[in-house]
Amino acid sequence: MSSSKRITVAAIGDLHVSEACHQPYAPLFQEISAQADVLVLCGDLTNFGKIHEAEILAEDIRAATIPVLGVLGNHDHESGCPEQVAKILCDAGMKLLDEQAVVVKGVGFAGVKGFLGGFARGELAPFGEAAVKAFVNEAVNEARKLENALRSLRTERSMAVLHYSPIAETLAGEPLEIFPYLGSARLADAIDRFDHVRAVVHGHAHKGTYEGRTLRGVPVYNCAQFVLQPRFDRPYALIPI
C-alpha cells in the first residue's frame, strides 16, 4: 500500500513568453492552483531566453498558490544566459529540476532539459568526428543527470519532467525527418531503470501526440500546450499520480 495519497499534477510546456506579453499566464496559474497539487513546466518557458521574458513569466509564477517545478528548454538557451533565466524564475518560486530532485506530498519529481539524438536504429552514435562525439556526449550527460536524480529519490512514486521527448511515439504528427531533433531514447533508458517512475511529461513537439509509453510501459505525456489545447480545450494536462 502506498504511504502517501495520490496527487494531481498539472503539466504544461512551451509557454514561449515574449517581451510583448503582459501577465500571459497569471490567470491560468491561478485556475490551475484550484485544480492541482503541483504545477510542472516542461521547458521553452521563454521565447528567446531573454532576461525580460523571464521577468514577465516570473510575475505570473508568483500568482500560483501551489508548488511550481520546471525544466528549461532549448528556447530558454537561445540568448546564451540560461543561468540568469533560471535564477529569475527560481527567485519567483519555481524549483528548477536539473541536478536535484524534489518531493511534493510524498511524490518525487526529477527532471532535466534532455537533448537530441534520435531513437532505435536512428539513434546517433558517438563515432567519427569530434563534433559528433560532443553532440552525443551532451545527450548522454543529460540522461546521466536524469538517472542520478531519479536514483536519489526514495519515494514510492515519482514523475520525470523533460523538455525533449524520451520516446518516438509522442512525436507522431511531426515530420518523421525531424524526429532525431525532438528527443533521445537515452532518456527513456534512464527512466526505465527505476520502478518508482509512474509518469513522464515533456514538451517541445508542438504537433506531436499526447500519450505513449516507454519500453517498460511507463506512461509518457506530451504536454506542449499546442498538443493539449485541442485535446482538452485547455493548455494544460491534469495527471493523477
pLDDT number for residue 99: 84
Rounded to whole angstroms, what are the CA distances from 121 to 52, 124, 125, 129? 41, 8, 10, 20
pLDDT in tens, 95-117: 999 989 999 999 999 999 999 99
- 9/146 Cα distance (integer angstroms): 19
What domains appear along the chain, each with residue ranges and CATH number? 8-240 (3.60.21.10)
**Do 200 and 219 contact (CB within 8 A), yes or no?**
yes
Given a cut of 70, whether residue 239 has pLDDT beyond it is yes
Round to whole Å and give the CA distance between 103 and 69: 10
**Model pTM score:** 0.96
pLDDT digits (tens, 9 = 90+) for 127-153: 999 999 999 999 999 999 999 999 999
Is the pLDDT assigned to residue 1 strictly greater than 50? no
Q: Per residue in 184-230, pLDDT tens?
A: 999 999 999 999 999 999 999 999 999 999 999 999 999 999 999 99
As a whole-number percent, the residues of the chain with pLDDT over 70 amount to: 98
Cα dihedral 137, 138, 142, 143, rounded to 10, equals -30
Whether the CB-CB separation of 76 and 82 falls below 8 Å is answered with: yes
What pLDDT does residue 3 have? 54
Q: List, as one string, the DSSP characters of 163-231.
A: SSBSSSGGGBTB-GGGGGGTBBHHHHHHHTT-TTEEEEEE---TTS-SEEE-TT--EEEE-BHHHHHHH
- Asked if residue 160 has pLDDT above 70, the reply is yes
